[in-house]
C-alpha cells in the first residue's frame, strides 16, 4: 500500500481515491516517520475512506499506527444526514485523554522527589482491575455519567476553574445513562479515581524549555516549574460500552458490505446510532470525572509536603471521541460529526468551544512522549482547522506491538534506562512496563516537529519527566 502514496507537499502524503473509496486518504508524516508506518495502517486509512458520508479525506496524524478499525491517529468527518458512527472510530478507551496541572513549585526547591512519587503511587489506585477508594451509589453513577467533571466539582473534589479548563467544560452533552449497560456500569462503578494500566500514567515533570513565551505565559508555564500530567480514560466502563455497541451494530446492520468488520457502524441519525452516541458521551463524562478525582487526590497528597501548594488545571484534552462540530465545507459552515481516534483537537483562536482564557491564543494541546522521554505542550491553530478538521497528534505512537516489546526488552533494561536518566519509576509490576519501553514508540520529537512545521499544532513548551507512576 505504501507505494500508492503520493507526496503532495512537505510532510503530506496522499492515498489516491480508488476502488470503493469515496474520498482520498491523507497522512501527515515526515519521510522518516513514514518508514515505520505499517502497511496495514495505510490499508486502514483507505478502509475508512469507504464509509458512507465521509467528507473530503480520511486523515492520519504524524503518530499514526494500526488500531481497531480506524488507524490510531485517524481523523474523519461525516455528514450528519448521510454519515455513520463507528465505535472503531472512537476506540475502546472512550475519552482516553490528557490533563496537565501547573504548580507554584520550582523543581529546584523539591528535595524529596522519590518520597513524593511513592506517596502519589500509594494514593492513586493504579493497575489492571484496581478499584477506587470512592464507592458510588447507582444514583451517583448516573450523575457522573450525565455531568462529568462538573459532578466532581459540585461534590467538593475541585474548583470551577477545573471544568472551565476542560474540553467541553468537562461534560459532553447528549449523555444518557440508560444507554449504558448494567455490565458496563458494574465495571466502572468502583473505578472512579483510578489510573488503570497500559500506557496510562501520572508523571511529575519539569518545564525544560519554552518555545513561545507569549503563549506559555497565558498557559501559566515557565522554565523550571513543576508540572503534573495525567493520562487515563473511562476504564472498564468505556471498554464495555464499545464492546456492547460493536455487537449491537453487527447484529442490526451486519458486516457483509464492510472493507473491515472492525468498521461496523450505524447511521448517525438511526436509533442505534443515537443510542451509541449517548452511551459514548456518558463514558466520556465518566473519564472526565475520573481525572478530576485523581486531580483532587494529588492536591490533597501534595499539601502534606507543601501546605501552600497550588496545582491548577492548564487544560484537559480528549483523544478518543466523536463530536458534533461546525467546520467549513466548500466555502460554507456545516455541522459535521468528527471522529478522532488517538488524535487531539487543535482549535485556533476565537473558536467558541475553547475557554475564555485561551480565546486569543488557541487551545492548549498535550503530546506526551513514551515513558522516559519528553512531553510537549502545543497550541491549536487556524491552519489545523483548514487541513485536519482542527486536529493533530496525541502522542508518540507505537512502532512495536506490546508482544514484540516484551520479546525484545527486560524489566531490568527498562529500569536501568530510567535510572540513567534520573527518572523515578513507581509501578505495581516492573514486568508489566516492558511493553511501554521507550523503544516501542516513535520519536516524539519528530512527531511534534511535523505538527509544528505543518502549523496544525505549534510548539509552546517541552516537559522533562522526573517521576512516573504506572499500573
Active-site residue numbers? 394
What beta strand segments (E) does 415-457 contain?
424-427
Is there a contact between 227 and 366 (Cβ–Cβ < 8 Å)?
Answer: no
Run of H or E including 9:
strand 6-9
What region does 77 belong to: left with phi over 0, alpha with psi -120 to 50, or beta? beta
Tell the residue number behind the cell numbers 480565546, with chain if given. Answer: 359
Angle between helices 138-147 and 271-303 (to 10 degrees): 100
Q: Please state, in angstroms and as integers, the Cα–Cα distance from residue 310 to each residue in 106, 149, 195, 244, 281, following that order.
A: 12, 19, 22, 41, 31
Alpha helices for 106-177 (secondary structure H): 113-123, 138-147, 149-154, 160-164
Distance CA 112, CA 116 (A): 6
Tell the residue number behind the cell numbers 464507592, with chain if given. Answer: 135
Closest Cα to residue 246, out of 293, 279, 289, 286?
Answer: 279
DSSP 389: S
Tell the residue number behind the cell numbers 446492520, with chain if given. Answer: 253
Distance CA 116, CA 467 (A): 9
Is there a contact between 327 and 333 (Cβ–Cβ < 8 Å)?
Answer: yes
Distance CA 194, CA 411 (A): 24
What beta strand segments (E) does 235-310 contain?
266-267
Closest Cα to residue 398, out of 81, 133, 67, 7?
Answer: 67
Chain centre distance of CA 242: 16
Amino acid at each position: 500500500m505504501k507505494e500508492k502514496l503520493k507526496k503532495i507537499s512537505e510532510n503530506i502524503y496522499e492515498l489516491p481515491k480508488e476502488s470503493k473509496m469515496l474520498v482520498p486518504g491523507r497522512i501527515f508524516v515526515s519521510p522518516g516517520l513514514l518508514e515505520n508506518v505499517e502497511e496495514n495502517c495505510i490499508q486502514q486509512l483507505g478502509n475508512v475512506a469507504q464509509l458512507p458520508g465521509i467528507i473530503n479525506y480520511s486523515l492520519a496524524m504524524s503518530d499514526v499506527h494500526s488500531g481497531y478499525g480506524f488507524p490510531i491517529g485517524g481523523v474523519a468527518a461525516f455528514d450528519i444526514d448521510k454519515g455513520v458512527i463507528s465505535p472503531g472510530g472512537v476506540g475502546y478507551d472512550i475519552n482516553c485523554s490528557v490533563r496537565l496541572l501547573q504548580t507554584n513549585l520550582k523543581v529546584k526547591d523539591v528535595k524529596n522527589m522519590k518520597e513524593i512519587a511513592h506517596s502519589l503511587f500509594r494514593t492513586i489506585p493504579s493497575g489492571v482491575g484496581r478499584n477506587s477508594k470512592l464507592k458510588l451509589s447507582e444514583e451517583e453513577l448516573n450523575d457522573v455519567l450525565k455531568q462529568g467533571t462538573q459532578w466532581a466539582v459540585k461534590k467538593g473534589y475541585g474548583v470551577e476553574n477545573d471544568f472551565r479548563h476542560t474540553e467541553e467544560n468537562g461534560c459532553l452533552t447528549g449523555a444518557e445513562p440508560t444507554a449504558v449497560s448494567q455490565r458496563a456500569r458494574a465495571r466502572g462503578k468502583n473505578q472512579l479515581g483510578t489510573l488503570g494500566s497500559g500506557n496510562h500514567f501520572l508523571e511529575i515533570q519539569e518545564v525544560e524549555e519554552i518555545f513561545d513565551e507569549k503563549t506559555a505565559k497565558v498557559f501559566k508555564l515557565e522554565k523550571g516549574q513543576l508540572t503534573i500530567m495525567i493520562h487515563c480514560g473511562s476504564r472498564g466502563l468505556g471498554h464495555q460500552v464499545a464492546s456492547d455497541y460493536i455487537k449491537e451494530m453487527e447484529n442490526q446492520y451486519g458486516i457483509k458490505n464492510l472493507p473491515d468488520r472492525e468498521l461496523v457502524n450505524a447511521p448517525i441519525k438511526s436509533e442505534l446510532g443515537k443510542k451509541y452516541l449517548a452511551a459514548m458521551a456518558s463514558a466520556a463524562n465518566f473519564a472526565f470525572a475520573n481525572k478530576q478525582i485523581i486531580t483532587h487526590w494529588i492536591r490533597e497528597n501534595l499539601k502534606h509536603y507543601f501546605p501552600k501548594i497550588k496545582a491548577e488545571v492548564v487544560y484537559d484534552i480528549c483523544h478518543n471521541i466523536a463530536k458534533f462540530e461546525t467546520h467549513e465545507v466548500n466555502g460554507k459552515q456545516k455541522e459535521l460529526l468528527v471522529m478522532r481516534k488517538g488524535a487531539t483537537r487543535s482549535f485556533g483562536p476565537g473558536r467558541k468551544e475553547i475557554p475564555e482564557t485561551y480565546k486569543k491564543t488557541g487551545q492548549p494541546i498535550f503530546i506526551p512522549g513514551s515513558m522516559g522521554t519528553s512531553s510537549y505542550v502545543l497550541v491549536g491553530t487556524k491552519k489545523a482547522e483548514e487541513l485536519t478538521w482542527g486536529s493533530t497528534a496525541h502522542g508518540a505512537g507505537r512502532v512495536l506491538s506490546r508482544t514484540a516489546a516484551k520479546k525484545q526488552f527486560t524489566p531490568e533494561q527498562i529500569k536501568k534506562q530510567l535510572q540513567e536518566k534520573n527518572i523515578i519509576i513507581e509501578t505495581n509490576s516492573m514486568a508489566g512496563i516492558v511493553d511501554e519501553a521507550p523503544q516501542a514508540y516513535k520519536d516524539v520529537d519528530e512527531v511534534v516537529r511535523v505538527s509544528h512545521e505543518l502549523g496544525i499544532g505549534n510548539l509552546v513548551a517541552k516537559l522533562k519527566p522526573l517521576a512516573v507512576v504506572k499500573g
